Amino acid sequence: MKDLDNQVVLVTGASRGIGLHVAKAAAREGAQLILMARTVAALEALADDIEANGGRAPLLQPIDFRGATWEDYLSIAGSLESHFQAIDACIFNAAALGEPGPLAGYALEAWASVMQVNVNAPFLLLNALLPLLRRSKHARVIFSLISTCAATRAFAGAYGVSKAALRAMVAILSDEFESDPGLSVFGIDPGPVDTALYRLAYPGADFELLAKPQDAASAFIAALGGNN
């Protein structure tokens, strides 16, 4: 048996970068995947790749976190409940960069959009899915983080503030669930990784020196309990 056989794993931001490679690695370990992203064609391409390489057919859940409401998350949870008895793990990887720049005068629409994707979406989705996570023997909730230094540097903009808030959310959740044997909370900072978002945030970086998304995925698989 593979390490993640019979494990239902949800991945947000699964259409590219770290999320895509986490999904591929989890599929190789036998996981039944729920893939979330806003680009349907990219999700379908990933599903085809997973099945072509012997993985289980994933369930695709297209969603645009920028406009999703609490009712949308409840609807998704209800739909997933009709497919699965439980969800064993959620990996919150989706992120929006917004516009790097000074906070003074930051565009309000860009601010709200980044906060919606990076902070509100994982909070709302987690709360909607908690009943399904509670049905797992040992659920894992995993958040993709960045370092405090990167989040709080000058001109990090709404992205930096949102990632600092997400790190605080992980710390609070970890403390609240510390004595709960049924649910574990992880925050993973993979460091600088050669993703499309990183290239936009740091256009002058030497991308050849960066870790690749497929390498960064290993930490997430380890947190899931796999060996990939």
Residues with catalytic roles: 159
CA distance 80 to 165: 28
What does residue 118 show for φ and ψ, rounded to 5 degrees?
-90, -25
C-alpha distances in Å from residue 120, one per residue of 77, 83, 100, 148: 16, 25, 20, 19
Give the other-Cβ count within 10 Å of 67's Cβ: 11
DSSP notation for 93-147: --------B-STT--HHHHHHHHIIIIIHHHHHHHHHHHHHHTSSSEEEEEE---
